[in-house]
Amino acid sequence: MTQSAIHLNQRKEVMLEESRIRREGCGSLREKPVVVPDGSRAPVWDHVISMLHSGDSYEGANEAHIARSSCRLAAYVPSPHIQVEIIERLSESSIAVLWQDATRCRYVDQVWIGCRARMQGRCALSDATIRRGDLIFKPKVRSALPANANAMILASVIAQILAKAAKGG
């Protein structure tokens, strides 16, 4: 065997060991450095290079990424289990909302920001159709994506509610 073939076989063994560790859940690979048979630590990108040389690929990796992304981007669907209440106007472009969904989540004082709709949807308060480009309020997203991240409320509906509240009705 040539030196490069031996090296590729060693790398393949390392990849199999990493795969076994992940399946068994014995801890993070960072906690247990992978050591190749010659005693040196495996460089980070060697497994990628060896896979490119061998023509192997991780089957299902792209499908898993697409499934995760589509879950996040799934359009919000109004439900009879949802209770939405405008608590107060924080500024011209933000409001505080009480959002209670018996099947998914509960947010007290959730901050929603004003913007233009990027996709078609339904208003969580009035069930009116929202078209792309309409003025809406949506949950402010910080580090964690809230369960109602794709929910929208028409700005005109909020203006009506706040005007009624100001009149005392």
For residue 10, name the pLDDT band (cuts at 50, 70, 90): confident
- The pLDDT, as a whole number, for residue 73 is 45
What is the rounded distance in angstroms from the CA atom of residue 164 to the CA atom of residue 167? Answer: 5
pLDDT tens profile 118-162: 999 999 999 999 999 999 999 999 888 998 999 999 999 999 988
Query: Would you say residue 58 has pLDDT above 90?
Result: no
- The pLDDT, as a whole number, for residue 55 is 60
Please provide the size of the chain in residues: 169
- The pLDDT, as a whole number, for residue 40 is 55
β-bridge mates for residue 110, sequence order: 97
155, 147, 142, 141: which is closest to 100 by C-alpha?
A: 147
